[in-house]
Amino acid sequence: MFLEIKNIRKSFGVGDSKVEVLKGIDLGIEQGEFCVLLGPSGSGKSTLLNIIGGIDHADEGEIIIGQEKMSDMNEKKLTLYRRKHLGYIFQMYNLIPNLTVRENIEVGAYLSDKPLDLDEIIKVLGLEEHQDKLPNQLSGGQQQRTSIGRAIIKNPDILLCDEPTGALDYKTSKEILKLIETVNQKYGNTVVMVTHNTAIKDMADVVVRLRDGVIRDITRNEVKVKAEDLEW
Amino acid sequence: MVRSPLRKRVFREIKDDLGKYLTIFILLVAMIGLASGYFVAIGSMIKGYDESFQLYNIENGNFTTRYEIRRVQKKEIEKTGNTIYPIFYKDINIDNNRTMRFMPNRTEVNLACLMDGQLPTQIGEIAIDQTFANNNGYVIGDEIHTEDNTYQIVGMVSLSDYSALFSNNKDSMFDAILFGVGVVTEESFEQEKITPTYRYAWKYPSDPKTEKDEKEMAEDFAKVIRENVVIDDFTPRYLNQAIMFAGDDMGRDSAMIHLFLYIMLLIMAFVFALTTSDTIFREASVIGTLRASGYTKMELVTHYLTAPFLVTIIACVVGNVLGYTWLKNVMINLYYTSYSLPHYPTLFNTQAFLETTLSPIIIMFVISFIVLIRRLSISPLKFLRRDLSKKKQRKSLKLSHRLRFFTRYRLRVILQNIPNYIVLLVGLLLANILLMFGLGMPETINHYQETIREDLLAEKQYILTVPASIEADSHALDNLVTMMAFENAVQTKTEGAEAFSAYSVETYNAVRQEDVLVYGIKKDSQYIKQAIDYGEVYVSTACAKKFKAKVGDVIQVKEHYENKIYDFTITGIYPYDSAVTIFLNQRYMNEVFDLGEEYFSGYFSNTEIKDIDEKYIGSVIDAESLTKVSRQLNISFGGFMEALRIATFVIFFVLMYLLTKIIIEKNAQSISMTKILGYSNKEIQKLYIRATTIVVVVEMLLCMPISTFINQWMFDSYLSERMTGYLPFYLPPWIYFRMMAMGLIAYAIVSIFEIIKIYHIPKTDALKNVE
């Protein structure tokens, strides 16, 4: 198992206001799999993603990625780990406002010893015409594509996507999903995507439903639906 | 090694926020330039001054004789191995009541440094001192007139033995306005029909190595001179103010400049740190994403340090270039209005370089680095959530609901920006201290001049001088004759003239060793409006204030070069602000100092005493001589004070602009949201601009008493300790209004910028980056 999540517990607050958001999560994801974490607001899916990404800490439990235990890592090692193995895509694109599209993607490339070809990525993302534009000259979809470029250019082992289509319209959302699908297939990255859009589950290998901090069920799609065929 | 692509945004960030970076840059350049200019100028001038002793063969001392020395006397004196050179002069009244000391050009000792033009080569030509010329508007080609002759100025010189224009070594201050020196040809010198003063300079075969040697050598030589000639004056170089004063004075301001530089650097470093903090706040989600993607804290610290670092480095380079070129000359000109200094080479000053390059860079770096490390040490997740507080959320301060909503809102804005307002307070305080000094100093000097004129003990005080020859222990017959002649010569028939005793002593155990004039006054004096009985001790108000003495305190004085100490218990304070003096009953004073029952050494008189030979009059204390110090201070400080006033306005403006800008930018989203909710721009101004306006007004008001206190303290403990006499710091009330006005004008201009900024905040800002 490439990504092992063992008995993850996490709570916020203290005393009476203590809220347990993850109540013992166990999950395994194989390399190259596309995993969707589904669930309503407050189910703990973003918290789980952040713990997998090493930007939040579990109170209990263990995350093992490719033989490496995250709990053994100090802050410095975690940073190095994220640098080498993880790519992040957020709902808000968080691009650097005074860097062009190309330069924003280079920000990701810088982190890798063997980044993917920048021009190829720009082409795959359909950003050739926009590569010299600043983020404020782009549409939401173009900005999200840029942030995907920034995440995947370093060819991360795991691509973590937190509601990547949450701020986009139907058409643009499908374009973004198609891109993530392409990236997953072309570069073989493991993808973990948090969403509350149930339609997206059909394009995943593994679907994990969370509610109130526990896994309700894990399903595997024998036949995946292509992103362009998704409807919602 | 691949360079971070983030570097590409550094210049864009500077360009995008040009207003901020440019203002900081300009202020840094100004500070560094002024400091660098000052240090380089002072370093170069001091070096030039020090070298002038060798270069222009400056005397080891001089003495004045009653008559020209005969060849045989010269031979006798020079048996000591020392060489003597005639440096005769004639003090001649010229245009506008100025006095010009004429002297033939020197060829062996105390050489003149030609600053411009040429030395006189024929009769009717003169080269005058450049400082006197500058202060009186003389240029080459102008004419000066004596009673009988006209001279054309052909050159500007700096005389190595008159770097400070003291006409009399006993004067408390030089006077580069009313007194000047000039060199002429021998023929020109001869044509002026007054008797010259027979002054001779001497040089030792080799310069004394220590101050003690110098003193001993001078004392030994004095004995030899007195054995051979009748002298009126004897001044070894180390006591010659015309030569030594400039050297002692230059560089005294270094401590102030250092303090100013470092305080300003610290303020600017904190401003930089605050603006960088603000940038981090604005870019929180980007930083969160970068950190989540694997960017290390140090990579981001390096990135956010780059722009301030770059601006500081460029400011250091530009500041130093300006310092070494233009500002050095500005600084030098300030000194040249006071001192007549020879040419000097501009020297690279290692200390100046370190203090104006390394220090700013290190201070900026360290403070920005600490702030950034602290700011960026929170988790990526917190950045993503824009939750940048390291501490747990404190409970918000409860504000009474009785307060109007707008008042509460403004209070919240103020509470949110307390760190910014603290930095603003420190900056405003510094600016106000400087401004108060800049406005108060000329007022203090003018007020002092007025006080002196109103406060004169008599229109004129004649201090008699016993010829130096009498002090010799040989040639008793000569001395006896001279003494008898002296006693006869110093009697006056001038109506109203009142004899007094005066004895110069120095303070003992005081913070600063200072000359104090002790007056022995007749009990029924018509000039001192206080009957002083035998044994009573009155001190002048200036003396009481300077030494913080009150009735009942003991003031200790000692005689110059002697060890005997006199304790005087103060019985009263006499209202006299012009000089640091002690008033005793004349009989009592003569007894205390063992001067003899009939001793007196001067006259008070409201009319000019004409029947005493000038050579027996050491000095005349009148309004003009007493205001010499203040006149010179006015000249020395004039340009500097103007520069200070401009500098403080710039500091006001820059600090207010930068810190207000941060506050508006920090609240851009909230401002945008209030716009969406339907608040008008005017209402938004009331919320955000007025909050800062209130703080600025309160801080300005707060600065007034603090600045007054600090200036008073600085003046008392620093200037008063350094200066002879007492110069009370005087602040007329209008100064406070002017300070407030300057601060508020600067703020009004800043507000206009900020109002425009508020107008331009788009409503869409509120919709961005909302989690």
Looking at B455-598, list the stretches that DSSP marks H as alpha helix, in order from N- to C-terminal side: 476-489, 541-546, 586-592
Residue A167 forms contact with B (CB below 8 Å): no
pLDDT of B618 > 90? The answer is no
Residues B462 and B603 in one domain: yes
CA atoms of B368 and B502, how far apart (whole Å)? 62
pLDDT on residue B718: 62
Judged by CB atoms closer than 8 Å, whether chains meet at A98 and B12 is answered as yes
Q: Does B434 touch chain A (CB under 8 A)?
A: no
Is the CB of A110 less than 8 angstroms away from the CB of B13? no
Q: Is A151 on the interface with B (CB under 8 A)?
A: yes
Interface contact B384, partner A, CB < 8 A: yes
Q: In this structure, what are the phi and psi dihedrals at residue B550, rounded to the nearest 5 degrees?
A: -135, 170
Domain spans of chain A? Answer: 30-57+78-229
pLDDT 10s digits, B724-746: 667 778 899 999 999 999 889 98
Pairwise CA distance, residues B30 & B26, whole Å: 6
- The two three-digit tokens of residue B628, written as one number: 């010499």
A83 vs B296: CB contact, 8 Å cut-off? yes
Residue B380: closest C-alpha in chain A: A55
Chain B residues with CB under 8 Å of A98 CB are 9, 12-13, 16
B296 close contact with A: CB closer than 8 A:
yes
Residue B401 pLDDT > 80:
no
Tell me if B9 and A103 make a contact (CB, 8 A cut-off).
yes
Say if residue B483 is in the same domain as residue B632. Answer: no
Residue B475 has pLDDT above 60, yes or no: no
Give the pair of three-digit tokens for residue B546: 């300077």
Nearest-angstrom CA–CA distance, B126 and B56: 20
Segment A36-58 mean pLDDT: 90
Query: A82 vs B379: CB contact, 8 Å cut-off?
Result: no
Q: Which residue among B4, B283, B292 places its CB closest to the CB of A82?
A: B292
Chain centroid to CA B491: 43
The reported pLDDT for the residue numbered B767 is: 56
Read off the tokens for B349.
Answer: 């000053």
Kindly state whether B771 is in contact with chain A, defined as any CB-CB distance less than 8 angstroms: yes
Tokens of B450: 């007025």
Percent of residues, chain A, with pLDDT higher than 90: 45
Strands B143-145 and B581-585, bridge-based pairing: unpaired
**Do the Cβ atoms of A96 and B6 come within 8 Å?**
yes
| Whether residue B577 sits in one domain with residue B478 | yes
Contact yes or no for B6 and A107 at CB 8 A: yes
Lowest mean pLDDT among A124-133, B125-134, B620-629: B620-629
On the 0-12 / 13-18 / 19+ scale of CB atoms within 10 A, B748 is exposed
Best residue in A73, A94, A155 for a mutation probing chain B (most B CBs within 10 Å):
A94
Question: Which chain A residue is nearest to residue B378, measuring alpha carbons?
Answer: A55
Residues B470 and B613 in one domain: yes
Q: In A, which residues are within 8 Å of B5 by CB distance? A: 99, 103, 106-107, 109-110
Taking the C-alpha atoms of residue B682 and residue B570, their distance in angstroms, rounded to an integer, is: 66
Shared domain for B161 and B191, answered yes or no, is yes
Asked if residue B61 is part of any domain, the answer here is no
pLDDT of residue A67: 82
pLDDT at B713: 85
Task: Indicate if B468 and B442 belong to the same structural domain.
Answer: no
Whether residue B59 has pLDDT greater than 80: yes
In a domain, B13, yes or no: no
Please check whether residue B315 lies inside any domain of the structure: no
Total residue length of chain A: 232
Q: In this predicted structure, what is the pLDDT of residue B771? A: 38
Which residue, among B285, B293, B295, would best test binding to A if mutated, counting the most A CBs under 10 Å from its CB? Answer: B293
A81, A82, A110 member nearest B5 (Cβ): A110
Residues of A in contact with B379 (CB under 8 A): 55-56
Instruction: Confirm whether B693 is domain-assigned.
Output: yes
B381 in reach of chain A (CB within 8 A): yes
Residue B208: strand, helix, or coil: coil
The residue among B621, B640, B672 that closes a domain is B621
Report DSSP state, residue A225. P
Report residue B473's pLDDT band, with 50, 70 and 90 as the boundaries. Answer: very low
Task: Point out which residues pair with B125 in neighbouring strands.
Answer: B152
pLDDT at B150 over 80: yes
pLDDT band for position B397 (cuts 50, 70, 90)? confident
Q: List chain B residues with CB under 8 Å of A90.
A: 285, 289, 384
Substitution target from A88, A148, A153 for chain B, most B beta carbons within 10 A: A88
B568 shares its domain with B629: no
B293/A92 CB distance under 8 A: no
Question: Are residues B384 and A55, on separate chains, in Cβ contact within 8 Å?
Answer: yes
Domain A30-57+78-229, CATH among 3.30.300.30, 3.10.20.600, 3.40.50.150, 3.40.50.300: 3.40.50.300
Q: Does B668 touch chain A (CB under 8 A)?
A: no
**How many domains does the structure of chain B reveal?**
3
pLDDT at A87 > cutoff 70: yes
The reply to whether B681 touches chain A by the CB within 8 Å rule is no
Query: B605 pairs with which residues across the strands?
Result: B460
**Residues B574 and B677 placed together within one structural domain of the fold:** no
Cβ of B384 within 8 Å of Cβ of A87? The answer is no
Question: Is B293 in Cβ contact with A88 (below 8 Å)?
Answer: yes
Q: Are A98 and B13 within 8 A, CB to CB? A: yes
Q: How far is A94 from chain B (nearest CA, A)?
A: 5
Partners of A53 on chain B (C-beta within 8 Å) are 292
Work out the mean pLDDT of chain B and round it to a whole number: 85
Q: Are residues B551 and B668 in the same domain?
A: no
- Phi, psi angles (nearest 5°) of residue B81: 100, -15
SS (H, E, C) B229-240: CCEEEEEEHHHC
- Same domain for B481 and B412: no
| A129 pLDDT tier (thresholds 50, 70, 90) | very high
> For residue B421, which amino acid is it?
Y
Q: Which residues of A touch B295 (CB under 8 A)?
A: 79, 83, 111
- Put simply, whether A94 touches B (Cβ < 8 Å) is yes
Contacts of residue B769 in chain A, CB cutoff 8 Å? 92
CA distance B38 to chain A (A): 40
Based on the fold, state whether residues B421 and B545 are members of the same structural domain. no
B692-698 long-range contacts (CB < 8 A, ≥24 apart) are B692/B413, B692/B417, B692/B660, B692/B663, B692/B754, B693/B747, B693/B751, B694/B410, B694/B414, B695/B414, B695/B421, B695/B424, B696/B424, B696/B428, B696/B656, B696/B743, B696/B744, B696/B747, B697/B744
Say yes or no to pLDDT of B393 above 60. Answer: no
Q: Indicate if B631 and B601 belong to the same structural domain.
A: no
Please tell me which residue of chain B has the smallest CA distance to A108: B293
> Domain end: B621, B648, B670, which one?
B621
Residue-level pLDDT at B168: 83
Tokens of B463: 């201090």
For residue B500, being part of any structural domain is answered with yes
With a cut of 0.90, is the ipTM above it? no
Cβ-Cβ contacts under 8 Å between A and B: the total is 81
Burial environment of residue A29 by CB neighbours within 10 A (0 to 12, 13 to 18, 19 or more): buried
A76·B296 Cβ contact <8 A: yes
Strand, coil or helix: A208: strand
b/e sequence A46-73, b meaning 16+ C-beta within 10 Å: bbbbbbbbbbbebeebebbbeeeebeeb
Measured between CB atoms, which of A76, A99, A111 is closest to B295?
Answer: A111
User: Residue B660 falls within a domain, yes or no?
Assistant: yes
Question: CA of A96: which chain B residue's CA is closest?
Answer: B286
Residue B542 structural domain:
457-621
Q: In terms of CA atoms, which chain A residue is nearest residue B298? A: A76
What's B44-90 look like in SS3? HHHHHHHHHHHHCCCCCEEEEECCCCCHHHHHHHHCCCCEEEECCEE
Q: Quick check: A46 pLDDT over 60?
A: yes
> Does residue B34 lie in a domain region?
no
Query: Is B194 within 8 Å of chain A by CB?
Result: no
Least confident of A147-156, B14-23, B168-177: B168-177
Contacts with B, A 26-65, CB within 8 Å: 50, 53, 55-56
